[in-house]
């Protein structure tokens, strides 16, 4: 199987490094030629919960170098999904599957519209990864990866993906209700990402302070209310307990949004807390905590230039 990982960030590099242990043909596709050259020269270094080790998958900025792929993992930021899908057209064969392992809600719809819903496999991963430097990843926490087709079916291709992931060390399962999983992951991200980015705290610290713990609980409660109104069944009965458990299980992890803020990069807040705010407006529900978190992250993004002076 030829597998292409699009986006060599924390999760992209982590999956590329692990998948390179397999007998499959593994490629990384980057948009940044300087970063690609550095990874091509030095490979990917992993440290943390899985030990210290290195891997050297193939990497390119030109999809033509790769040819048609069997599986494409989309690991770019949500606001880059449309551009990424438009750029991977040379990789698409008749049976190519596209697996999104991205944060937030909306990526499945974008990929389906541009590449066809029949290709799309949605996924959520609870692997914790922190980008230390180009090609250098701290594996901050282990967790299962769950994949599923939008129509609830389990095609042979998806079972093959599960087997490859399990073989290289990822705990991978399949689900017939991936929408519930995507929303369940959204609830977790709503509680952790923006709050950690604002406070600059790793996940575990968010539940050690009464102030952040209260804000986390309020944000999660609002998001769970929206899910209930949308008649989306979450995979856990107690959203608050689940989010706090994730904080404990990934206590040293820096959320992806915190990593973005520290690097003065655009965040995915529009696809996380922003989703809750937009849906709340449609439903006539007040979500003040999520609106507060959204506004603060947007302010932080807008103030990057000022803080650099």
Q: Is 28 helix (H, G, I), strand (E, B) or coil?
A: strand
Say yes or no: 114 and 218 in one domain.
no
Contact predicate 54/44, CB 8 Å: yes
Say yes or no: 141 and 236 in one domain.
no
- Which of 115, 142, 176 corresponds to the end of one domain? 176
Say yes or no: 13 and 136 in one domain.
yes
Say yes or no: 189 and 123 in one domain.
no
Q: What is the dihedral of CA 74, 78, 80, 85, to 10 degrees?
A: 40
Say yes or no: 97 and 186 in one domain.
no
Contacts with 280 (C-beta within 8 Å, 6 or more apart), sequence order: 222, 226, 286, 287, 290
Q: Does residue 123 carry a pLDDT above 90?
A: yes
The conformation of residue 253, written as its DSSP 8-state character, comes to P
Say yes or no: 112 and 244 in one domain.
no
Distance, in Å, from the CA atom of 93 to the CA atom of 90, rounded to the nearest integer, reads 8
CATH number at residue 239: 1.10.1040.10
- Which of 124, 145, 176 corresponds to the end of one domain? 176
Contacts with 143 (C-beta within 8 Å, 6 or more apart), sequence order: 125, 126, 127, 128, 171, 249, 250
Contacts with 152 (C-beta within 8 Å, 6 or more apart), sequence order: 176, 177, 178
Mean pLDDT of the chain: 94
Question: Which residue range is the domain that position 94 belongs to?
Answer: 2-176
What pLDDT is stored for residue 130 in this prediction? 87
Say yes or no: 241 and 116 in one domain.
no
195-210 pLDDT, tens digit per residue, is: 999 999 999 999 999 9
Q: Is 181 helix (H, G, I), strand (E, B) or coil?
A: helix
Distance, in Å, from the CA atom of 116 to the CA atom of 251, rounded to the nearest integer, reads 38
- Which of 152, 176, 200 corresponds to the end of one domain? 176
250-282 pLDDT, tens digit per residue, is: 888 889 899 899 999 999 999 999 999 999 999
Q: Does residue 122 carry a pLDDT above 60?
A: yes
Instruction: Give the model's confidence band at 11: pLDDT under 50 very low, under 70 low, under 90 confident, else very high.
Output: very high
What pLDDT is stored for residue 262 in this prediction? 95
Residue at token pair 């926490």 = 141
| Residue 28 exposure: Cα atoms within 13 Å on the Cβ side | 34
CATH number at residue 159: 3.40.50.720
Contact predicate 222/290, CB 8 Å: yes
Say yes or no: 45 and 155 in one domain.
yes
Q: Does residue 188 carry a pLDDT above 90?
A: yes
State how beta strands 136-141 and 44-48 pair: parallel
What pLDDT is stored for residue 307 in this prediction? 66
Say yes or no: 279 and 187 in one domain.
yes
Residue 74 backbone dihedrals phi, psi, to 5 degrees: -95, 115
Share of the chain above pLDDT 70, in %: 99
What pLDDT is stored for residue 308 in this prediction? 59
Q: Does residue 309 carry a pLDDT above 80?
A: no
Say yes or no: 206 and 149 in one domain.
no
Q: Which residue has the higher pLDDT, 50 or 287?
A: 287
138-156 pLDDT, tens digit per residue, is: 998 788 999 999 888 887 8
What pLDDT is stored for residue 218 in this prediction? 98
Say yes or no: 227 and 117 in one domain.
no
Taking Cα atoms as reference points, which of 251, 261, 253, 258 lies closest to residue 208?
251
Share of the chain above pLDDT 90, in %: 88
Say yes or no: 32 and 159 in one domain.
yes
Task: Dig out the tokens for 9 from the structure.
Answer: 């960030």
Task: Dig out the tokens for 309 from the structure.
Answer: 């002076």
Q: Kind and range of the H or E element at 187?
A: helix 178-199
| Cβ density class 146-171: b for 16+ within 10 Å, e for less | bbbbbeeeeeebbeebbebbeebebe
Q: Kind and range of the H or E element at 26?
A: strand 25-29
Task: Dig out the tokens for 297 from the structure.
Answer: 């992250």
Q: Does residue 249 carry a pLDDT above 90?
A: no
What pLDDT is stored for residue 252 in this prediction? 84
What pLDDT is stored for residue 50 in this prediction? 86
What pLDDT is stored for residue 154 in this prediction? 80
Residue 88 backbone dihedrals phi, psi, to 5 degrees: -95, 10
User: Which active-site residues does the annotation give?
Assistant: 185
Give how many domains the chain has, as a whole number.
2
What pLDDT is stored for residue 306 in this prediction? 76
């Amino acid at each position: 199987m030829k597998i292409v990982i699009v986006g060599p960030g924390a999760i992209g590099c982590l999956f590329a490094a692990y998948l390179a242990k397999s007998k499959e043909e593994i490629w990384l596709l980057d948009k940044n030629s300087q970063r690609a050259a550095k990874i091509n020269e030095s490979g990917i270094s992993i440290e943390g919960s899985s030990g210290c080790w290195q891997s050297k998958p193939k990497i390119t900025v030109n999809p033509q170098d790769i040819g048609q792929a069997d599986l494409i993992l989309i690991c770019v930021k949500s606001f880059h999904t449309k551009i990424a899908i438009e750029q991977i057209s040379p990789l698409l064969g008749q049976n190519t599957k596209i697996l999104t392992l991205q944060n937030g809600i909306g990526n499945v719809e974008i990929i389906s519209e541009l590449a066809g819903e029949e290709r799309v496999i949605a996924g959520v991963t609870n692997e914790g990864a922190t980008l230390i430097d180009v090609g250098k990843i701290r594996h901050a926490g282990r967790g299962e990866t769950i994949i599923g087709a939008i129509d609830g079916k389990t095609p042979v291709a998806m079972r093959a993906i599960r087997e490859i992931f399990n073989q290289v060390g990822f705990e991978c399962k399949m689900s017939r209700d991936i929408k519930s999983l995507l929303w369940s992951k959204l609830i977790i991200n709503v509680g952790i990402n923006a709050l950690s980015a604002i406070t600059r705290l790793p996940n575990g610290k968010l539940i050690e302070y009464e102030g952040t713990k209260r804000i986390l609980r309020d944000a999660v409660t609002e998001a769970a209310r929206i899910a209930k109104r949308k008649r989306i069944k979450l995979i856990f009965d107690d959203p608050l307990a689940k989010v706090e458990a994730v904080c404990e299980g990934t206590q040293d992890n820096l959320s992806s949004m915190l990593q973005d803020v520290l690097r003065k990069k655009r965040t995915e807040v529009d696809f996380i807390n922003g989703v809750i705010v937009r849906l709340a407006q449609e439903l006539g529900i007040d979500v003040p905590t999520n609106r507060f978190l959204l506004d603060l992250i947007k302010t932080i993004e807008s103030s990057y230039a000022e803080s650099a002076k």
